[in-house]
Chains A and B, each alone.
Chain A
Amino acid sequence: MTRQQVLDLYFLDARHKLIEIAAFLDRVERADGADDFRVAAFRTALDKFSASGKSRAKDVLLAFSDHSTEPVDKAPGKGAVGAASL
């Protein structure tokens, strides 16, 4: 596809998702209470948007990832939460 074709196909959808992200952050700010590790990870991931290059999706996923290398002693439950705790 040309860049024009990419924009024609995906701009409105991406615009919608960006507004959702902005609204989510506003919602977090309006709510009482402290941030947790998920907010810190989210802000780190947001920084990847302003970088140049073609690997933003990969970099955002890496920003949310657990980078430790050793297996944990015991599984702390079954589910994942979306960001690695510090």
Chain B
Amino acid sequence: MRYIEPHAHMVSRVTDDYERMALAGCEVVCEPAFWAGYDRSAAEGFFDYFSQLTEHEPKRAAKFGLKHFCWLCINSKEAEDVKLAEEVIALVPKFLGRPNVLGIGEIGLNKNSRNEMRVLEMQVDLAAVHNQLILVHTPHLEDKLKGTKLILDVLKNDRRIKPERVIIDHVEEHTVAMVLDAGMWAGMTLYPETKCTPARAIDILEMYGNERLWLNSACDWGVSDPLAVPKTALEMKRRGHLAVAVEKIIFENPKMFLSQSEHFAAALKR
């Protein structure tokens, strides 16, 4: 059973996780830039992080036969400091030409503040200017509904942004329809307590179809499971979904979206 893990924060995971993912059939892992659990003190910290995502982490993944790709941005939890955000955003173009960079992400909102909105808009502009794919983080828990609506408004109001080149991640039952109706892709994140379970993610697939939807683990430094995607695939089979339908969700759909990145498409040819 082959699969693509479209959202995993491997800088915070150990090599045992890489090995287990490879054994479970993972062929590609994609890593968005995220909050490390603490606020970085300066833009230089992000420069080093982007270097880690584009130089070191692909080598770590390659030891287990995995192709590694990444997204770059300043995340929404560190977006309250607009001056810092501007400095970080100015660094991103230096890395966009690196062969494992997919686009701008995971941008979005956290507490739905005015400064977070400004930084979101700056990064949407960055993506538009450089013709990059966009990966969006929607807020947690009680903030998700409001944040998803605000994010969709920003994206829909920018005519340069093509909806099929945007993936809105961490959707749940109350946000998935608005994302799909906007013509964008929707990611279901299998993360304990705060996001979807395998059963609910499959419910969403059964209710909304299997187009423009993918699964991911978003495994990070918190309690999370890097094997959440293959485990959900097993759950799909338990419910009677055919192997071809499972492969569409866990491999073909991510491949379809990510192939819009010239770097991903080029790597597939190698």
Q: Which of A66, A71, A72, A77 contacts B145 (CB 8 A)?
A: A66
Residues of chain A with a CB closer than 8 A to B149's CB: 69
A1 interfacial contact with B, CB 8 Å:
yes
Q: Is the interface of B mostly helix, strand, loop or mixed?
A: helix
**Known contacts A68-B146, A80-B142, A82-B141; A73 and B114 CB within 8 A of each other:** yes
Can you list, as one digit per residue, whether each of A43-86 has a CB less than 8 Å from chain B (1) or not (0)?
Answer: 00000000000010110011011111101111111111111100
Report how far A45 CA is from B233 CA in the complex, Å: 30
Report how far A83 CA is from B143 CA in the complex, Å: 8
Report how far A78 CA is from B134 CA in the complex, Å: 23
What is A's interface to B at a CB cutoff of 8 Å? 1, 5, 9-10, 55, 57-58, 61-62, 64-69, 71-84
B59 interfacial contact with A, CB 8 Å:
no
Report how far A75 CA is from B79 CA in the complex, Å: 10
B230 interfacial contact with A, CB 8 Å:
no
Q: Is the interface of A mostly helix, strand, loop or mixed?
A: loop
B146 adjacent to A61 (CB under 8 Å): no
B142 adjacent to A84 (CB under 8 Å): yes
Can you report 19 A-B residue pairs in the complex whose CB atoms are below 8 A from each other?
A9-B238, A9-B239, A10-B199, A57-B173, A61-B144, A62-B174, A66-B112, A66-B145, A67-B146, A71-B112, A71-B114, A71-B150, A74-B80, A75-B80, A75-B113, A77-B111, A78-B77, A80-B143, A83-B141
**Known contacts A58-B173, A65-B174, A82-B141; A76 and B146 CB within 8 A of each other:** no
Residues of chain B with a CB closer than 8 A to A58's CB: 173-174
